[in-house]
Structures are given as structure tokens and as C-alpha cells.
Structure 1
Amino acid sequence: MLSKLSFQTQKKVILICFITIPLLLLFTFAYYPALELFRLSFMKWNGVSANKEWIGFANYVEVFSNPDIFGVFKHNFAYFVVGIIQNMLALFFAVILNTKLRGRNGFRLLLFLPYILNGVAVAYLFGYVYDTTNGSLNALLGSLGFGQLSQTSWLGNKDFVNYTLASVGLWRFMGFNMVIYLGALQSIPSDLYEAASIDGANAWQKFSRITLPNIYKIIELNLFLTVTGALEVFDLPFVLTKGGPAGASETFVMKIIETAFQFNNYGLASAMSVVLLLFVVIVLSIQRYLLSRGDD
């Protein structure tokens, strides 16, 4: 039937099909669930009953007025701080491994390998590393003469448990960010550095005047990934601490899942998900505004 049509008509039909099918899939698995999530946020629903009670903004009032819910956001701050350090280290190693260093490909592979590992497997691995009595970290500190420090409960102290968990993310994702920075550095023409060397520029001047301006957009991309990852972290605290001690490492995503599947309050969990989405959009908008001013 399609062969009977003219070439231009066949072309239009094929183009429409190639556009319609992805849009249909996008609406089915992205837009519709998001709209349904927003609708459920105004409901009181246990996830099983066919009856959904409309309660208006009561769920949102509960989210912002209950410190046990909204206050959990402060636990994500540690992941943001460590994420910034992670980006600085990734850029540092990318700059070093972009030079003619002997064995640089091997070092690149070693730094990138942790990203390939499964997140749950990494969490279980570091569970043994941070174990108070038999952990390899405390054993190493004890052998180095740090007797008091070797008795530290890295996952049991509420003052720094989130930084302990965030350090696992640094080890795992630093290599991924390094590869992104490395790709950006290799796209910078070498002629710029040669011209700067002729003009007498030192290493820092080359980095600040040539490297940073040329990878500014990549830095912005990695910061975007860092912020979203810090706000949506789930697997590490869920596997290693279950939100403990005394809820000190519970993240907002863990609170959403607990509200939905443990307390069967899907309406409140939906409102929390919408708040998380809005919070991510606001933080990224502020980041985009600040970085765009710096770019100008």
C-alpha cells in the first residue's frame, strides 16, 4: 500500500512514524506517570483501595510542616560537599593524565573501574571496609599507630556517617567524571598551549586562561550530575545503614519509599516526590544562573 504512494508522501509517512512512536513511548512511560504522580499528590490513598480521597494541599502542608520529612534534606548536604571535592579531584587527575605520562592508560583504567561496579556490590564491599571491629580501614589505622582513631565507628556515628557514605560515592564516581573531563581536555587544540608557551605562560596561566574557559560547559554538566545525584542518593545509605543511626543517614528518597511501601501512604509519598522534583529544578536553576553569570 505504501509503495503506491509518491516518494514525497512515503517520506512524510516514514518521518511521521519515526516521530510518533518515540513520542508515544515518551508519553506512556514519562509524561503520563509524572502527571499521575502529580494528581495522586492531592489524594489520600493506601495504594490498594479503589477509592482515592481528594484532600487538596494537605499532603504538601504535611511535607513542609513535618521536620521528620522535610528536615531529612540536610542529610544530603554531605553528598553535595563531597561531590564538589570529587569534581576537583576528577579534574586534577584528568589534567595529569592528559599529559604524556608513562602508563597513563593504565591509570585511567584503574580510576574508571570503580564506576563499572554494581552500586549494591560496592555498598557491601565498603560495609566490610568500614566495619568497626574487623574492618580493613580500622586495621590499617591501627597498624599505622592511630590507636584511638582505629576504634572509630564510621557508620555508627551520626555526626559524620553521611560523609562516610558520601566518600564511597567519591571513590565510585570520580573516575567517571575524570573521563568526561579528559574527553573535554583532549578536544582543546594543542596550538593554544604551544602559543601560550611561546608567550612565556606558566602552567597555572595555561590552566586558568586556556583549559578552564574551554571546558566550562563540561564543568557545568558534571556539577549538574553532582547536584542531582546528591539530592537523589538512595542505594548507599539503604544498604549500609538502613538510614541509621537513629535516622541520621536517612535521605529524602529513602523517606519517600518508606512512606509509600512501609506506611502505605501513597498520596503523601507522591507529594514528597513532587517536592523533590521542584527542589531539584530550583537548585539547578540557581546553579545555572550563577554559572551563566560567570560565563558572561
Structure 2
Amino acid sequence: MHRVASSGSNGGSVRARKEKKLTYVLNDANDTQHCAGVNCLDVLKSSVSSDQSYLFTGSRDGTLKRWAFDEDAAPFCSATFESHVDWVNDAALAGDSTLVSCSSDTTVKTWDSLSDGVCTRTLRQHSDYVTCLAVAANNFTGTEDEKDFPLWCLDAVLNNRLPPRENTKLSFFLHPCEGSNVQVVTLGKLSAPRILRVHKVTNYVVEKMVLDSPLDSLAIDGGPQPLFAGNGLLPSGSKPWQKLKPSIEILCNNQVLAPEMSLATVRVYIWKKPEDLILNYRVAIAR
């Protein structure tokens, strides 16, 4: 049973005084029954570990009660769960012995249903009446079921706990292929978003070569190969290494990478090692 009282008076003062509200619960002498309407109920059936069945009820008096019953005896109240300070609007059993309740006091509470009324957790994320709740069936295998309903989602809803943020960066080294004369100035280990495409790495190599390596041709596999792709025409006053782009290909584990492949895909399906990714580059071999 709940009462809300207020106290405080202006007492002739010009300054307004803040109204104070006090919420309290009055318990009847007979604690074996509810003193207001019952809003919800759930049943815990007997199991191998316990041959006793229980009925749980939630009431407008702010309490939940556990009723023991069987075929040979009349039901009786075996425990009262007190912590809510307003109507209990819904209750449901989760798992083997967890009772979950929600209330107009804006909280959701979990209880040890087989105890004498122990509240194990209070969730205060709501800012208004909590009028209903639903409990996911406890039949997840963590494999196929998780594809449809990830367990991290349930953990976030019930425990307000988000999964750790995945690292969106990927570290890698960029080296010339063995025997290649192409050199690019790098600062050791590089870092880039996991979704970065291989053609972006190619552009990086090209920019470094164009700015830092004024070479017209390179010897690859014993024979000279053109460094620059295109028709060979240069704008007036420009130098070859400033305007024309060399034809470069990126490799991993001696496999030429498709330009649209992401670094994350390369690491998982081609590199296949826990160490930092190693990429190689070379002037594209004419085919």
C-alpha cells in the first residue's frame, strides 16, 4: 500500500520553497496476502531438483509473493519480495530460479525466486512506468541460434552491458618484392582502416614512387619493363615521374591481390597468420 505525502509551506516568505515528496509503504499485519489488486503472475513448475511448484504474483501493493502449492495441500504464501515502491506491473521467470519484475517506480528488478525475497539486481534505465517485460527462452546453443539473435544483444538489454568495440584499424608492412628495384619511402609499420581497399594501397605506392623515384624503367625478371602506363605523352614542361602513373600490383604470400579486396579480407583469407600483415609491391608484369 502506497501513500505520497508532501510537506512544506511558504510561511509568508516571498521566496518559494521546494515541495518535498515522501513515498512510503505500509505493510498489513497479515503479510500472507496482497492488500491490493494482483496485476501479474507466473508459475515455476516442479523439477528433478525440486518437487515443489510455485506461483508468483505481483500486486499493486508493490510486492511480489511466492505461493507454494501441490495437489494434496492448499496454497500458502511462502515468501514476500519487497523492494518496489509502486505497482508491480509484470513478472516473469527467467532461467532456473530468477524472477524478473517491472514496476511503475520505473525500475526492473531481478530476484532469487527460491530465497526469502532477495533482490539481486535493480535496473534503472527507464524514465517512466515499466508496464511489461518479456524473457527470451533459454534455449540458445551459441551457434546457429546466435545467427538469428546474438547473445550480446540479450546481454545488452538485460544487463546494460555492451560488447567491447572491435578494433577498426589494421597494422601492416609494405615491402618491395624480392629482386625488385622499386623503392618506396615508408616509416616502418603502417596502419589503416580494415575496410581499406587494395587499390588505395596501390595509390599510396604510386604517389611515393612518383614523388621520390624519378626512374623511367626498371629491370624485372631479367628484362626491362616500362614503369609508366599510358601512351607516353607528357604535358609540356612536366617530368615523367611527376605526371604519369606507374602500373603497380600488390601481392600477399606471392598472390596478386584484386584491387577491390579489403585489407581485412586479405588478412583472413590470404595472409592467414596472427602476425601483422605483410604486403609486397612490384611493377606489374606484362601478360
TM-score (norm 2): 0.19
Q: Relative contact order, CA 8 A, sep 6+: which one is greater?
A: 1
Q: Write 1 or 2 for the structure with the bigger share of helix.
A: 1
